[in-house]
Structure 1
Amino acid sequence: MNTTDGYDYVVVGGGSAGCVLAARLTEDPDVTVLLLEAGPDHAGIDSLDTPGTWASLLGGAYDWGYHFTANPLLDGREVPIPRGRVLGGSSSINAMLWYRGHASDYDAWETAGAKGWNYASLLPYFRRAEDWEGGATAERGAGGPIRITTPPNPHPVAAGLLEAAAELDMTVLDDCNGPDIEGAALANLNIDDGHRGSTARAYLDPVLARPNLTVRTGATVTELVFAGTRCTGVRYRSHGVVEVRAHAETLLCAGAIASPHLLLLAGIGDLEHLGEHGVTVRADLPGVGRNLQDHPLLMGVNFRSRRPLGPVRDNGGGAILNWRSDPALDLPDLHAFIVQGPHATPEVTKRYDVAGDVFAISPGLMRSRSVGRLSLRSADPEVAPDIDPRYLSDPRDLDALVSGLDYIFDLAGTAALRGLIDTPAAPDRRLDRAEAEAFVRASCSTFFHVGGTCAMGVGPDAVVDPELRVYGFDRLRVVDASVIPILPSCNTNAPVIALAERAAALIRGHERTPS
């Protein structure tokens, strides 16, 4: 094993959060940072750069290839959960949606115990990250690393969704990232002049020449190294095993799957669970891996088009819709987006024909009540953990998704969409309750929004404190979606980037959370 002299900060994971931290921390020329990424560099890979073909990346060479555990409530299916294994992480393979949800989503973090984390505290960091095409406002930022645009020439099915929503007396929003989120809107996209705006491209590429920044790809971290309760660095595989020291801190940015996995392998987690796998207990921190949350998505409601769909535009979508499954709810819980092509699970395509000119409106649940867990399958770091969001374990989630399925057929009945739709394709008609439940179970998949597995807060299940430090340890923080105590009702890329922006300020001493 080789041992290096070390760096001030070792950042584990070059994804959405890790690239932000590496860029922001090295703004101080007296600080040295090592960024470790298991996958390859993103540079020069056309498939990562082209927005319209992002879906072809899922399950491919730049995806970790994880699956959720088989779920009896989904007919025993194992749902794939893509996670980026390349510089930029999931921001290099995702759908490039920049959506922040509602202000109350972040106020809920503070209510859950993450003192000092609320919408008011995060808004400056959302704005710091943004280069919004509409320019700076009280809610939006300009001049930041992430270019954010709307479709300049929306696909007809995207425009059709907005018109259909208006026919059903829903609001057509000027900006889905404004204070009101209920209604339809053109999507905000991380697309800059036809190119993907990953964190690797937006944050890291412009600063690669900094002498205090070292980026190593093809470096898979397998172990955290400790001296008592102080984390002193990590061991990683790259042409052999290398140990590197972190003089100031080790920053886990490996994502909501790999970060808790590394903590569990280090003996930080539930006492009994670690014992079951022969892992020596370093700290009984039972919240590690618990509180796993995700947004379930139906892939999707498919319609045969009256005319050829033409070339894919933007990210293959272009418009979104938020509404309530129950009028008694205070805020929307359902979300849908357009797909400029078929969108269906293998189980659905076995039953229905989705070949040819078919497009989809895909609904999902952004306020899921089901909560799962990540746990060890083995003490071997090569063995992926068991990842179980327990989709539909709360029956209210099934009710909401059935309602969402029905509303898509209401949209399809509008004049705006009747002009585009020849016939329903999958399902091929409006379904009764029993049929709709069966369709939900067969088509339920994921928005790729896993979080919560190292939750920030107080109490017995909290893993990190409001400054993102792992309880009971020195010089070890987690900065990624795993620390989110309650998933916001939106795509998670924007919240993770804002979280990492604020984490960088906390680490540099530019801000403190209330004690």
Structure 2
Amino acid sequence: MLRDAEALDSAYDVVVAGAGTGGCVVAGRLAEAGLAVLLVEAGPPDTADPAIADAGAWVGLLGGPNDWGYAYAPAPAVGGRTIAIPRGRVLGGSSSINAMLWNRGHPSDYDGWAAAGATGWDFAAVLPYFRRAEDWEHGETLLRGAGGPLRIETPSEPHPVAVALLAAAAERGHPVLDDANGPDNTGAALANLNKRGNRRWSVVDGYIRPLSANPDLTVLTGATVLDLLVSGGACTGLRLALAGRVVAVRARHEVVLASGAIGTPALLMRSGIGDPAELARLGIPVRHALPGIGRNLQDHPLLMGINFSARAPLGPVRDNGGGAQLNWRSRADAHAPDLHAFVVQGSHAGPEIAATADLSGPVFGVSPGLMGSRSVGSLRLESAEPDGAVTIQPNFLAESADRAALAGAIDTILDLASTAAFRDLGAVPLTPARRLGRAEAKTFVARACSTFFHTCGTCAMGTGPAAVVDPVLNLHGLQDLRVADASVIPVIPTGNTQAAVVMIAERAADLIREAAR
């Protein structure tokens, strides 16, 4: 890992800004193919904190020194609360601090991308990239890959709460699936996790560490990207702050932005690329007008949380502290599951909900969220300075359909308490302690609403006037600049976004290799 500006070359074939999920995948694949790549990360190496490698320790990483510390802005629909959005500021990005869940969502999600203008990103087209990334514990199938960089396992000895969810779901008439990423994700399943035994298996483990001796890959940590170098209608490189110096690094072929759904639009706007009115507000000269940057922000709202007391202690934390999930439809006519819940091997509640009950002792959670959310928000730059403030507003619960779906999810989870599997645990509802009336449910949803940390969509892919990148991930109207992170997602998938970002980056690497020939 280079730290000294004097050790940098003046130019590389490809320069990647951001060593998170997308950036590590792109950089690893391109270096593997013989292109000289510089991968730039603001945070430290992922070895800085031993807890990063511990699959069961991720919750303790949130809000710590390897987290950017972002938060969603207050809004009346969530009771005027700010909602934290953990994002990894470390090599591997959020892949190094997240819950390790590998959920593609429903296959129809990607057909929806194609219909929204991301031509060529239907499920049949993206499936090979999902499979290429995977080292699925049960081996290769038509839908799953084996031998890829990312190890994916299910719990070998599921926690009692995870076992109970599967049994309770079956008793309530939900299918129990062999694979959460099978042909249809409707039903209950053991979680797919990016881990090997008790060790996290991040994109660094899969794509970067195996290339530690490859001279074509240079990984630079502790470097802040100040802005993009733009000349003659093309992006030619980056300006970096490194060890008290400002350093310019040029790209012989192209620059790839992979700083995430918050960092990438902010960097573009600070470089004079974005909505001219927004840039003028901050006194930033317009280099390239692209009004869609920062718009179309999407995330999945999560309820923290529905908690149950248990008859006796349930044992130590296993896996990622969860281990099983349930997907179902809020409406019979929904084409795919739009609601999702996961188990928590302990209490799961924000301060507003935790204050309403005693959550000490043997307690577990089953937390539902809306994977088919319709509310759309935006990101607003508040400072032209590097790492300056941004206002991030997801507009959670702005749509009445979202509020109704989450209110209905409360009853679905409380229904589990009447099953034999939950009775065997001695499960008694704590938050809420009983079924809620309509007004009570509305209040509970507003007070419990949090996030799955799935921020995406702020540089959406497509062909219309609001699109930021085209279907081969090039920034519209500016040459030699590509984006490969969650910001390009046009419509949020009904699953955890990590798998989708890996798929996007795998495909980006192919597109860049083809262009560099």
Give the TM bin, normalised by the shorter chain: over 0.9
Report the alpha carbon displacement of residue 228 of structure 1 after superposing the two structures with TM: 2.9
Report the alpha carbon displacement of residue 510 of structure 1 after superposing the two structures with TM: 8.4
Q: Among residues 52, 69, 73, which one is paired with 2:73 in the alignment?
A: 69
Q: Does 1:106 align with 2:107?
A: no
Report the alpha carbon displacement of residue 426 of structure 1 after superposing the two structures with TM: 1.6
What residue number does 2:97 align with?
A: 93
Matches within 5 A, 1:144-183: 144-183=148-187
Q: Among residues 334, 338, 341, which one is paired with 1:336 in the alignment?
A: 341
Q: Contact conserved, 1:463 with 1:471, CA < 8 A, in 2?
A: yes
Report the alpha carbon displacement of residue 346 of structure 1 after superposing the two structures with TM: 1.2
What residue number does 1:421 align with?
A: 426
The whole-number CA distance in structure 1 between the counterparts of 2:197 and 2:325 is 21
Deviations 1:311-366 (A, max 9, x none): 00111000000001112222110000000011101111122221221100000000
Partner SS state of residue 145, structure 2: coil
The whole-number CA distance in structure 2 between the counterparts of 1:330 and 1:123 is 20
What residue number does 1:40 align with?
A: 44
Q: Does 1:192 align with 2:196?
A: yes
User: 1:118–1:511: structure 2 CA closer, same or farther, 3 Å change rule?
Assistant: farther
Q: Does 1:225 align with 2:201?
A: no
The whole-number CA distance in structure 2 between the counterparts of 1:123 and 1:328 is 26
Q: Among residues 320, 327, 330, which one is paired with 2:332 in the alignment?
A: 327
What residue number does 1:354 align with?
A: 359
User: 1:510–1:149: structure 2 CA closer, same or farther, 3 Å change rule?
Assistant: farther
Report the alpha carbon displacement of residue 44 of structure 1 after superposing the two structures with TM: 5.9
Report the alpha carbon displacement of residue 247 of structure 1 after superposing the two structures with TM: 1.4
Gaps of 5+ in 1: none
What residue number does 1:285 align with?
A: 290
Matches within 5 A, 1:398-417: 398-417=403-422
The whole-number CA distance in structure 2 between the counterparts of 1:138 and 1:18 is 27
Q: Among residues 251, 258, 267, which one is paired with 2:263 in the alignment?
A: 258
The whole-number CA distance in structure 2 between the counterparts of 1:276 and 1:343 is 41
The whole-number CA distance in structure 2 between the counterparts of 1:156 and 1:317 is 10
Q: Contact conserved, 1:4 with 1:243, CA < 8 A, in 2?
A: no
Q: Contact conserved, 1:66 with 1:384, CA < 8 A, in 2?
A: no
- Which AA in structure 2 matches 1:179? P
Q: Does 1:457 align with 2:472?
A: no
User: 1:44–1:263: structure 2 CA closer, same or farther, 3 Å change rule?
Assistant: closer
Report the alpha carbon displacement of residue 276 of structure 1 after superposing the two structures with TM: 1.2
Q: Contact conserved, 2:132 with 2:148, CA < 8 A, in 1?
A: yes
Matches within 5 A, 1:108-127: 108-127=112-131
- Which AA in structure 2 matches 1:330? H
Partner SS state of residue 47, structure 2: coil
Partner SS state of residue 277, structure 2: helix
Q: Does 1:16 align with 2:12?
A: no
The whole-number CA distance in structure 1 between the counterparts of 2:195 and 2:358 is 32
The whole-number CA distance in structure 2 between the counterparts of 1:193 and 1:161 is 22
Q: Contact conserved, 1:36 with 1:215, CA < 8 A, in 2?
A: yes
The whole-number CA distance in structure 1 between the counterparts of 2:382 and 2:295 is 15
Q: Does 1:375 align with 2:380?
A: yes
- Which AA in structure 1 matches 2:371? M
Q: Among residues 483, 492, 516, which one is paired with 1:487 in the alignment?
A: 492
- Decide which moves more: 61-70 or 39-48: 39-48
Deviations 1:447-472 (A, max 9, x none): 01111000000111000011111111
The whole-number CA distance in structure 2 between the counterparts of 1:424 and 1:170 is 21
The number of equivalent residue pairs is 511
Partner SS state of residue 327, structure 1: coil
What residue number does 2:323 align with?
A: 318
TM-score (norm 1): 0.97
Matches within 5 A, 1:209-248: 209-239=213-243, 240-248=245-253
The whole-number CA distance in structure 1 between the counterparts of 2:401 and 2:378 is 19
Q: Does 1:391 align with 2:407?
A: no
The whole-number CA distance in structure 1 between the counterparts of 2:253 and 2:404 is 49
Report the alpha carbon displacement of residue 4 of structure 1 after superposing the two structures with TM: 5.0
Partner SS state of residue 332, structure 1: coil
- Which AA in structure 1 matches 2:111? D
What residue number does 1:447 align with?
A: 452
Deviations 1:83-102 (A, max 9, x none): 00111100000000111111
The whole-number CA distance in structure 2 between the counterparts of 1:44 and 1:57 is 12
Report the alpha carbon displacement of residue 45 of structure 1 after superposing the two structures with TM: 2.8
Report the alpha carbon displacement of residue 270 of structure 1 after superposing the two structures with TM: 1.1
Gaps of 5+ in 2: none
Q: List structure 1 segments (4+ residues) > 2 angstroms apart after TM superposition.
A: 1-4
Q: Contact conserved, 1:131 with 1:147, CA < 8 A, in 2?
A: yes
Partner SS state of residue 57, structure 2: helix
Q: Contact conserved, 1:353 with 1:426, CA < 8 A, in 2?
A: no
- Decide which moves more: 415-424 or 503-512: 503-512
Partner SS state of residue 254, structure 2: strand
- Which AA in structure 1 matches 2:306? V
What residue number does 1:133 align with?
A: 137
- Which AA in structure 2 matches 1:348? I
